[in-house]
Structure 1
Amino acid sequence: MAVRGRRAVASDGVVLPPTVEGDLRPRLPQLAEDVVAAIVDEVPSYENALNEEMGVVIRNAVRAAIGAFLAMVSGQPGRDPDKLLAQALDGAYQLGRGEASSGRTIDALLSAYRIGARISWRELSRTAVDHGSDPKTVAAFAEQVFAYIDQLSAASAQGHTDESATAGRVRQRLLERIATHVVDQAPEATILRLAERAEWKVPATLTAVLVPEGEAGRLLQALPGQTLQATDLPELDGTVLLLVPNVHGRPRGRVVRETTRSGGTVGPPRPWREARSSYLRALRAHEAGLGADTESHLPELVLTADAEALADLREQALAPLAGLRASTRAKLVETLRAWLLHQGRREEVAEALFVHPQTVRYRVGQLREAYGDALDDPRTVLTLTIALGVEA
């Protein structure tokens, strides 16, 4: 870890005599206690720090930071100021990472540094004056104290930022694994363990949303914060799967509207352990180009659930027309579909086909010649309705 900035200790001279360090060093434990007490008193985020393991870490960090500084400014032979500074900055960096892991903000940490600098300077300056340091020396000492605190603050801020970013990436990877496991219907215990680690609250339902990769970020901004995302499922090609928690009724309508803008597809809400069915329905609707809301296209989804079976059924149902010319067969199939959908009402069939009612009468006569009494058989009507429910 490297932190850029000016050195806390000048290389062109020593500010304090070694006797000051000798007097101050035994006081470090109490000084650390005073600093921690002031931080806990003045920064609400640290109210319970003394009762946590972090309290020990903070005390040790304060003692180490002040001890390193004293060693750097005392001019003791054999001490490398650069090495001491590097060690102090590394300690501050690790402290920043630990604070991020504990959930405390960078503002709280920087406030703690300012308080620590104030308390430490009060004791350091008093001791320096007691040892006869002149005003010029004390002023130079103050400059170096606060420059040193600035560098420690910067190192801790960098550690806090790095840890926060790392934690964010780790959580995102966990959430993606949860999404994949939910779709793959992995054991519930496995998913719940990951959910606990990722701090993901298991919802009552999940709704699958498929959206183009370029629109996923925008759509996520409009969806609940606990929405899961998956990009590496084998069926996805340029598409992202979002699993949206607990959207029913009007909230689902809003999701459909936002997804329509993104050119995506919304599956039905399902209990979270059954989210795979929502995903598969959305996938089928997406591949068929049926539009954003799968629930508005249930007949088409049902009729195309088994494409081969539908093709076989169509061939079987239309067998009586197989011997006709292609153009005649096409017109009769078109008429038969309209006749079934409009329940034999000739005027409505004619309007739907943009032909004269007499034309409809003539074509229906041809159909009755081909099918005979079968057109009055409920089973045949059902078969034809299913076979012709979706245009070939």
Structure 2
Amino acid sequence: MTDRLMTQPLGFSEEQLAALRARLPRLGEKVVAAIMAEVPAYSAAFQGRMGKTIQTAVTVALAGFFDMTTSPGADATNAAAQVRAAAYELGRGEARSGRSLDALTAAYRIGTATAWRDMSRVAVEHGLSAEGLAGFAEVVFDFLDQLSAESLAGHAEELARSGRLRERQLAQLATALIGGREEERLAQLAEQADWAAPQRLTAVILPLAAARSVRPILDPRTLGLAGDVEALEPYGGLPDHAVLLVPGARAVLLRTLGSTTAVVGPTLPWKQAQASFQRAARALTLGLDDGLVDTDLHLASLVVLADAAAHDDLRARVLAPLAPLRDGQREKLTDTLRAWLLHQGRRDDIAEALFVHPQTIRYRMGQLREAYGERLEDPSFVRDATIALG
């Protein structure tokens, strides 16, 4: 709040001051009626009991104005402090009620005009001079400008405070989702954050700069995490990356991302978002991060590379019979074995894939049969070799 809310003393006579004070209850009614008529946001809010409360508040504020401009110094200061605090709290309350700064500003403008028309008429009727009226106008409008500034400050502070609170609540919800918290806790956090839970969520991991660019065009309910977050620690903290949990259809999300560098997990029921995040994180850590990566199209790679050390051991075991050969020969036979597995032994297809003559394939397969023997007919070996080399 500011400390500026003070006015210059007014030289009212006792008769003029009494007449103006006598008008205050009626003036409060007129101000509220004018605001209700001209500001749609208040037309329903000020009806009934709320309207009486606001009318009383307006009357108290106007009475405070006269106390400030006619009382001794200390009393005027106390009155100013009370009016300032009331105006500030009014602004905070308006923010909590969801009414905008535009509505509040319009209410002050209309209320000021209505109050001035009534007070100036009464003052003139009771002998206030033209010079006195000009001074009265200056003090009235300065007072109401200051009052408006206090309310606007309260409104802005409440919006900032509530915005920060909701941001923290949404971040807490995102952390709980990625951390796989129990469903009851997830529902509780969603309610606290006033977050309308969608049916499904998709985890997206992308560079921070890309996240800042793309997030404004995603579903407004999108949740996000970035930085040093405990839920990301098992994945190395994902430095320089953000995690978004995006509602809506997967096809729409992929079109929206376009050519953005990002890893997209599976689309799952919203309370299972952890599984979507985990798959995207695994894809990222395995190096599947070239452009837009749809993990649904890389399931085999994710399975094969899930344990890189185990995969390396399996490959070494499958290729052990070729170890004694020269490097060049071993490489050619490894490529031939891989093509034989993938093309299910069709010699012409193998030759086409390796850009060699079918007779060359016949010769190489003879070498492979000599090295592996009956293992080439063993389903277990064929399975292991396909996984190791595929």
Would you call these one fold, judging by a TM-score over 0.5?
yes
CA distance in 1: counterparts of 2:10 and 2:140, whole angstroms: 13
Match of residue 17, structure 1, among 2, 13, 20:
13
State whether structure 2 residue 182 is matched by structure 1 residue 187.
yes
**Preserved contact between residue 15 and residue 140 of structure 1 (Cα < 8 Å):** no
Aligned length: 380
Q: Which residue of 2 aligns with 1:273?
A: 271
State whether structure 2 residue 69 is matched by structure 1 residue 73.
yes
Q: Which residue of 1 aligns with 2:130?
A: 135
Shift of 1:254: 0.9
**Preserved contact between residue 46 and residue 54 of structure 2 (Cα < 8 Å):** no
TM-score normalised according to structure 1 size: 0.89
375-384 vs 49-58, which deviates more?
A: 49-58
SS of 2:344 mapped into structure 1:
coil
Shift of 1:19: 4.0
Q: How does 1:12-51 map to 2 (within 5 A)?
A: 14-51=10-47
Q: Which residue of 2 aligns with 1:102?
A: 97
Name the CA shift for 1:52/1:191 in 2 (closer, same or farther; >3 Å). farther
CA distance in 1: counterparts of 2:183 and 2:51, whole angstroms: 38
Shift of 1:66: 0.8
Q: Which residue of 1 aligns with 2:243?
A: 241
Structure 1: gaps (5+ residues): none
Amino acid at match of 1:185: G
120-129 vs 16-25, which deviates more?
A: 16-25
Shift of 1:212: 0.7
State whether structure 2 residue 332 is matched by structure 1 residue 328.
no
SS of 1:49 mapped into structure 2:
coil
SS of 1:20 mapped into structure 2:
helix
CA distance in 2: counterparts of 1:115 and 1:83, whole angstroms: 27
Q: How does 1:205-354 map to 2 (within 5 A)?
A: 205-231=200-226, 232=229, 233-234=232-233, 235=235, 236-248=238-250, 250-257=251-258, 260-261=259-260, 263-290=261-288, 291=290, 292-354=293-355
Shift of 1:69: 1.2
Q: Which residue of 2 aligns with 1:370?
A: 371
Shift of 1:326: 4.1
TM-score normalised according to structure 2 size: 0.89
Q: In percent, how many aligned pairs have the same letter?
A: 48
SS of 2:99 mapped into structure 1:
coil
Shift of 1:122: 2.9
SS of 2:28 mapped into structure 1:
helix
Q: Which residue of 2 aligns with 1:199?
A: 194
Shift of 1:353: 2.8
Query: Over aligned residues, Cα RMSD in angstroms?
Result: 2.3
CA distance in 2: counterparts of 1:111 and 1:288, whole angstroms: 58
Shift of 1:171: 1.3
**Preserved contact between residue 6 and residue 77 of structure 2 (Cα < 8 Å):** no
Structure 2: gaps (5+ residues): none
Shift of 1:330: 2.8
**Preserved contact between residue 266 and residue 294 of structure 1 (Cα < 8 Å):** yes
**Preserved contact between residue 228 and residue 243 of structure 1 (Cα < 8 Å):** yes
Shift of 1:266: 0.9
Amino acid at match of 2:89: Q
Name the CA shift for 1:224/1:78 in 2 (closer, same or farther; >3 Å). closer
CA distance in 1: counterparts of 2:3 and 2:249, whole angstroms: 47
Amino acid at match of 2:142: A
Shift of 1:190: 2.2
Shift of 1:178: 0.9
Cα deviation, 1:204-252, whole Å, max 9, x if unaligned, reads: 110000011122111102211110101222232211100000223x313
